[in-house]
Chains A and B, each alone.
Chain A
Amino acid sequence: MKILFKVTARLLAEVKDQLSRPHPFAAERVGFLLCRVGLLEGGGVAILSHSLHEVADEYYLDDPSVGAMMGPDAIRKALQASYNQQASMFHVHMHSHDGRPRFSHIDERETAKFVPDFWNVQPDLPHGAIVLSEDSACGKCWIPGLEAPVDISQFSVVGIPTRKL
């Protein structure tokens, strides 16, 4: 199944800026992209990102065993944003290297826990998680009614220039 993730160049730059800011104690920052979705020919899905939902400093838990651990308020606020704006939500964080990033075991474990929670507020929308690197990205998309998440097959950065990651 083709899953196409699109982000404007301006929004991607904003996301990277926000995620690169140092946090008082967490080693990295996380956020959520509010998205809308569209059906593609052949049953694929286009994920169209619109804006960044930031996780406030105080919503991180001090857990040195991971890069960043969100507290329950972080999830609650994100759920609220998804509900209020009828948005498909994609968790986003960044690995500071070039080349295609991968989900770590911790990323996989944690996203599998909280991403399906968004179906409590938007049951018919896909939700997911993406990992950015300096010049690439990877991601997973949870489609309602499908048991396992599907890998995002293509990332497009739309702007001048337009490019595929």
Chain B
Amino acid sequence: MKEVDRAGLNLDRQSFLGKTSAPILDNTQVAIVGLGGGGSHIAQQLGHLGVGEFVLIDPDIVEDTNLNRLVGATQQDVTKGSAKTSVAARVIVSVNPRARICVETTQWQKCGIALRSCDVIFGCVDSIGEREQLETVARRYLIPYIDIGMDVHRMNGEFFIGGQVALSVPEGPCLRCMGIIDDRALELEAQQYGAAGSRPQVVWPNGLLASLAVGSFVQLMTPWHTRLDLPVLVEFDGNAQTVSRSNKLLYLEGRPCPHFASLSSLGDPFWSARAVRKHVATTIS
């Protein structure tokens, strides 16, 4: 884990976000899980916005096939085998040297405790199963979760780009409520259903979806405006070049999410105060 703390960032041009927005953003800790095509854009934008604390998680290194979309990565990173987290950290620090950055070059499940104190988690992972796990962690610790997803489908010999940005806020609709996750999709994924090989990805839909996700984040955290009907699911049609609020949730309006409603869906499944006492004893000694 590395920390960086140097000089400041002038945010005068975004002061319309509210006079307290700069300290709010500086005092906000964000996790980005997955620093590939989508996550690298998000990291860059949050760096420009002046977000103060980052937890960057991705186990992968930069490969030549990433350069068509991975913001900040260079040929030299491919040669050196730089971690994607290091590239994101470098991009952030290059615009906001005061950013405090924790880098975890491992699977997020192995450093899940680092997510718990975050104010917002961005999920930029590929699989539906991982999305479900990540959202479950976010719900357990009452953390808003912003998920981006993009796919390229082949139909009748043509390629279609689709994607969505989902804002999963505790007590609001979750990814299951939104229809992004369901048992059948999980089952099919588990059977590795579909075309084999690497998933097609391109830079501009990633950038657009990342921008929408950052827009949701800014509305969530800053006093920019008081509009409370922030769309929780936005859909992107890459061929028609349209972004629209999803109508999937029309029938759920006002209904609480039933999937994470119980008390037992909160907190550590196996809590023990021993770890806290141990830490206090270590600090005192």
Residues of A within 8 A of B (CB): 1-2, 4, 6-8, 10-11, 34-46, 48, 50-51, 85-87, 124-126, 143-146, 156, 158-164
Q: Is there an interface contact between A50 and B266, defined as CB atoms closer than 8 Å?
A: yes
C-alpha gap A85/B267 in the complex (Å) = 13
Q: Give min CB distance, A18 to chain B, whole Å.
A: 17
C-alpha gap A144/B271 in the complex (Å) = 12
Q: Give min CB distance, A118 to chain B, whole Å.
A: 13
Residues of B within 8 A of A (CB): 24, 27, 113-114, 116-117, 119-120, 140-144, 167, 169-172, 219-223, 228, 230, 263-264, 266-268, 271-273, 275-280, 282-283
**Contact status of A124 and B219, CB under 8 A, knowing A1-B280, A4-B117, A43-B278:** no
- Which of A8, A39, A42, A144 touches B170 (beta carbons < 8 Å)? A8
Q: Is there an interface contact between B117 and A124, defined as CB atoms closer than 8 Å?
A: no
List B contacts of A6 (CB < 8 A): 141-142
List A contacts of B167 (CB < 8 A): 160
**Contact status of A46 and B141, CB under 8 A, knowing A4-B117, A41-B113:** yes
Q: Is there an interface contact between B140 and A38, defined as CB atoms closer than 8 Å?
A: yes
- Which of A11, A41, A50 touches B116 (beta carbons < 8 Å)? A41
C-alpha gap A47/B142 in the complex (Å) = 10
List A contacts of B144 (CB < 8 A): 158, 162
Q: Is there an interface contact between A38 and B141, defined as CB atoms closer than 8 Å?
A: yes
List B contacts of A143 (CB < 8 A): 273, 276-277, 280
Q: Is there an interface contact between B116 and A38, defined as CB atoms closer than 8 Å?
A: yes
Q: Which are the 9 A-B pairs with shortest beta-carbon distances?
A: A43-B279, A36-B267, A36-B266, A6-B142, A144-B273, A145-B277, A48-B266, A38-B267, A38-B268
Q: Give min CB distance, B26 to chain A, whole Å.
A: 12
**Contact status of A162 and B220, CB under 8 A, knowing A38-B141, A146-B280:** yes
| A86, A124, A143, A161 interface centre (most CB from chain B within 10 Å) | A161
C-alpha gap A110/B271 in the complex (Å) = 28
Q: Is there an interface contact between B220 and A43, defined as CB atoms closer than 8 Å?
A: no
Closest to A159 in B: B169
Closest to B137 in A: A38
Q: Is there an interface contact between B219 and A126, defined as CB atoms closer than 8 Å?
A: no
**Contact status of A125 and B141, CB under 8 A, knowing A37-B267, A164-B27:** no
List B contacts of A86 (CB < 8 A): 263-264
List A contacts of B172 (CB < 8 A): 159-160
Q: Is there an interface contact between A45 and B169, defined as CB atoms closer than 8 Å?
A: no
Q: Is there an interface contact between B276 and A48, defined as CB atoms closer than 8 Å?
A: no
List B contacts of A124 (CB < 8 A): 271-273
Q: Is there an interface contact between A159 and B171, defined as CB atoms closer than 8 Å?
A: yes
**Contact status of A48 and B271, CB under 8 A, knowing A8-B170, A164-B27:** no
Q: Give min CB distance, B219 to chain A, whole Å.
A: 7
Q: Is there an interface contact between A39 and B263, defined as CB atoms closer than 8 Å?
A: no
C-alpha gap A163/B220 in the complex (Å) = 8
- Which of B24, B273, B283 touches A126 (beta carbons < 8 Å)? B273
List A contacts of B222 (CB < 8 A): 161
| B267, B278, B279 interface centre (most CB from chain A within 10 Å) | B267
List A contacts of B221 (CB < 8 A): 161-163
Closest to B262 in A: A50
Q: Is there an interface contact between B142 and A40, defined as CB atoms closer than 8 Å?
A: no
**Beyond known contacts A36-B264, A87-B263: 16 more, CB 8 A cutoff:** A1-B280, A8-B142, A11-B171, A35-B267, A36-B263, A36-B267, A39-B275, A41-B117, A48-B140, A48-B141, A86-B263, A145-B276, A146-B277, A158-B142, A160-B230, A161-B221
C-alpha gap A44/B275 in the complex (Å) = 9
C-alpha gap A44/B278 in the complex (Å) = 11
List B contacts of A162 (CB < 8 A): 119-120, 144, 169, 220-221
Q: Is there an interface contact between A50 and B263, defined as CB atoms closer than 8 Å?
A: yes
Q: Give min CB distance, A98 to chain B, whole Å.
A: 15
**Contact status of A43 and B271, CB under 8 A, knowing A38-B141, A87-B263, A160-B230:** no
C-alpha gap A87/B266 in the complex (Å) = 10
